[in-house]
Chain A
């Protein structure tokens, strides 16, 4: 069966060990978590975990059911199956030189990025976008000398109220 990246949203109790239980369901079966985002919901007793994993359709269904067996997991939504919006943010620290500055400004402009701090020979900038945009941005920045970077992984939300 064809594999693709699925995005799951999990409503879980905001407690120690919950993330370990969730990642154990995937890890224990040899499945990789590609991206992971967690924070409390409006109600601080609960957290929302957004994770992505590359699976075939049958397997993602089984993973959802196994996740639902966990006492601290209250809801699992496959955001790939519903209309949803997804974003990712990246922070990049670039080395600055006379030769790359111009090009960098162009890239920042193209990807709607922003410089957060600039300090003589380096800067930290952010770019937000969907996965494809972020991949493209990284590819464009790479030749200009990325010093280090951090990606949030995907956050995703259903488009409609349900």
Chain B
């Protein structure tokens, strides 16, 4: 929930709302509005926030009578959480907020949006496809996590021995340490996830929406596969990729009915039946694992994350900013549980990770919460360092400080002849002094051998800590599918090592 003042307070929520809209995150935003009799008069601090946020909310309301407040709030919570979740905004004029009324509890209006389930005929058909398939693959997305269906996903994968890849928003639904795990697909996905998609004969896509960063060139996406697509939002189906079996259903119901059928049919598959496919995938994994060039002199950002993973044994909740830091956090930290990786997927909003970390830490005070950040992104909401002190929220920031808006610099390097423009961040605050100024602890590492010690110290310290890792400045994220290219054509980084 967010509560903001009218005018600029309301308009400042737009990016956050759009962010939640694209990632289907249920939030309620209460915005102040000028008194009802001043609406539409260009009054002081008046903006038409209902108009401004119409295309980026699931729904929004302008309340004009105090009697509508209770009903509207019930309805807003219902809308935000049902079906495909999303942000709901309620605009509250000042006179309405100050007015008094009797609260009469009433059941919220029923909205025809109950969770749809797959028709059983379709579930049968899907299980037939699974039985016939020689090279099946599950591609899961944020919907599985939002729908609380990770356990069901695991059951399906383990019983059928189908390998699993998850989109950025889906990381953690399937354990990152499981042998069936393929990593993330798409632009900065693993070689083997992209190859598996390109060669599978059955793709079961669950709770994901075939974002262009995942599919690459559509014509070459899973060209040999029958595609099953389960999504709660009918408009996501056949939007980008034409599928063979569309199933409008929430992920949990669909997975439950698949699993129930497997149980009923006493389904089993031997290692032998999967051998060819498993071996093929192992070969891809062996040929091109996720990797980077370690250095004795420079800190590699990937090394920082690997070390963080080692020290936390994968048990931290990670939030990320946006850019290279985000991709490395997705690639080099293993997520074994849902809701342990929080990132801005659809909108890619720099500045998301730090406030998100604060929220997570409040919700899970016993968990270690780490924001993996870039030096550009962290400055988008840096003022919240004061919030962390004021409300005693001991989060950790792992700053992969490359002195660049790194991801944009990477594109300028690879696609625009190294003509770096507006991406140099050499002129940045001294983050140690900044941390101190806010009452945080600040630590810095400039050499690879300092990385582990700084992380150990920073993670062990009781309060909020900012760890400034001066990383290799021009490191690029690999593998990389060029924008608009087919996902089986990846630059692996080795050829660009110079």
Contacts and interface: CB of A to CB of B under 8 A. Distances in A.
Interface of A: 16-17, 20-21, 24, 28, 61-62, 65-66, 68-72, 74
B58 A71 contact: yes
Contact of A20 (B54, B111, B237): B54
Interface of B: 50-51, 54-55, 58-59, 62, 79, 84, 111-112, 233-235, 237-239
Contacts of B233: 69
Given A24-B55, A74-B112, A17 B50 contact: yes
A71 B111 contact: yes
Contacts of B55: 24, 28
Contacts of B234: 65, 68
Given A71-B79, A71-B111, A74-B112, A65 B235 contact: yes
A66 B50 contact: no
A62 B235 CA distance: 7
B235 A69 contact: yes
Contacts of A74: 112
20 contacts: A16-B62, A17-B50, A17-B54, A17-B62, A20-B54, A21-B54, A24-B54, A24-B55, A28-B55, A61-B238, A62-B235, A62-B239, A65-B235, A65-B237, A68-B235, A70-B59, A71-B58, A71-B59, A71-B111, A72-B59
B33 to A, nearest CB: 14
A66 B235 contact: yes
Contacts of A72: 59
Given A71-B58, A71-B59, A20 B235 contact: no
Nearest to A70: B59
Contacts of A62: 235, 238-239
Nearest to B236: A65
Contacts of B112: 74
A74 B54 CA distance: 18
Select the residue from A20, A28, A71 with max chain B CB neighbours within 10 A. A71
A61 to B, nearest CB: 8
B137 to A, nearest CB: 26
Contacts of B59: 70-72
Given A16-B62, A24-B54, A71-B58, 5 more contacts: A28-B55, A65-B234, A65-B237, A69-B233, A70-B59
Contacts of A20: 51, 54
Nearest to B233: A69
A62 B59 CA distance: 19
A107 to B, nearest CB: 44
A149 B112 CA distance: 42
A53 B435 CA distance: 57
Contacts of B51: 20
Select the residue from B50, B111, B112, B235 with max chain A CB neighbours within 10 A. B235
